[in-house]
A and B are shown apart, each in its own frame.
Chain A
Amino acid sequence: MISDLLHSLPQVLVDGLTLGAVYAVVAIGYTLVYGILELINFAHGEIFMSGAFIGTAVMLMFESAGWLGAMPGWLAYMLIMAAAMLVTGLMGVGIERVAYRPLRSAPKLISLISAIGVSFFLQDLVRFIAELSTGSYLISSSTLYNDNLQLRVSKLGGSLGDAFLKTNTVILIVVAVLLMVGLDLFVKRTKWGIAMRAVAQDRETAALMSINVNKVIALTFFIGSALGGATGVLFAQQYGTVDPFIGYVLGIKAFTAAVLGGIGSIRGAMFGGLFIGMVEMFASANLGVLTSGNFGGEYKDVFAFAILIVVLIFKPEGLFGKAVKEKV
């Protein structure tokens, strides 16, 4: 049994890191918005999905215009990424303006229901547009950097097996890490980043510092949504096919990751995402082996939510959600 686990370990690590990176960046979107508005933006999973669709749509446009062969792959990649980030960023700003700002002084539950409404609306809107223009809501496009690589870990000896991946897998992980590092620096070092934290901590007093609170909130939605959209592109490039419902379960798992790390904490969201991605892939590969075939890999989803329940019972503030003692 141990040798089976070891054999699949390299592949589990690669896949876990890939999925975990996706969860981590999406989780940041939840945590940013929660930090500033105490609102769980349930539409964020659909922002991720929209990013995947926009990336795929731009890709299909490049294909049909014959530009894809004419420009280098990295340029095409950057262009679809930029398009998706810009559009999803603006979508986030629009959603806040239309669906959340008018309800800001209403009880939190009302905004939550509004968020769920936006989530369904986006699913159906994307499905409608996709079916109208292609006849199907399952959309595939060609993918960039999809050549296969093999990590020959088995040469290290023992019972380790090889891991298979694509060049795009490496790109996904690298880009996700760059996005996270970039965001972390922005929030820690820049004036607007510090203003985001100030507004999250005390909105009234932030306004007294001449900070335009609405502008900061809009900026937060732009950044969180653009990150979600970018991840959607990475995801679409990795798996090739998108549908309007990919954001739903993925969004809930990323939200779980944010809660695990301590909602409101950016580094917590990063850690939570990687952790849940790893656990899920480990379960997917090994559950059958560990339970002698009684439970298959399809039970992997149980783990993310079991972790959520355990965290909520024993450490409701999450792993990194430490509260600073405030003196009166």
Chain B
Amino acid sequence: MPFGQLLIEGLAMGACYGLFGLAVVIIYRTSEVINFAAGTMAVFSTYIAFHMITFYGHPFWLAFFFALVFAALLGMFVEFFFLRPAKNPTLLGLIVITIGVQLLFGGLVCWKWTADQQAFTIPFSYQVIYEPLPGVFISQWAVAVFVIAAVIVTLLFFFFKYTKLGTAMRATQQNKHAAKIVGIKTDRIFAFSWAFSSVIGVTAAMLISSRTILDPEFMMEPFLRAFAAAVLGGLMSVPGVLLGGGIMGLIENFFGYAMPAWKPITAFVVIVLVLCVRPSGLFAKHYVKKV
């Protein structure tokens, strides 16, 4: 495979990881919860779309829209019923809750749709190839990924910068108590950030599943790679996670091309190496511990 091909494919996959990492980062920024359930929640919503298309015969865009709404409600549901009732949970407690949510939804998905592999298609096929420059091929799927990622990131940028809700989210992230004092309902902000994260997560999951397969576990590895991307970016910054996603996608694609058997563990090697050098990610400001 030529170099340019690997580069574009890697960047496209990296954009998916970056998008999914964004879902992790949005929750971590506001509530300092690592959402281990992000992958499974996205799988659940993807299956909703799959079910509508396959069994009820609805057009893709209707199913897509419905899946987004479902994902938003699912995110709010998880925040409201599972995280809010926990009083002053420790970090380990939060991790246990989100892993519990992951098992819960994973089990439900397997129960409803079984563990069989399905094919999930979106209107952008990766078999339709364009040739913008001689010798450089780019699939329709990759174009769609780049466009969608760009649109989401632009929207998020304007949302955080100019809207009232976005400003409230940033305020909550900086100081929860001060945000409460100036009248921001922080609980509601958490619910909204879970909804946002879930919606972005399902968008990324649909893009990934149309490239690979759809089964209840298909988001496990992308989740870890997205997490690696988020860690590379320091878990806090939006540009950081996108850059991290790009790096992840490229490393994985080039390394996977050279040594296919070891492709799955690249993410972990990268995480561990980066964390050994910079314990709070490449782009994070240095973290000072208060005693």
Does A pair with B? no
Residues of A that sit less than 8 Å from B by CB: none
**Chain B residues near A (Cβ < 8 Å):** none
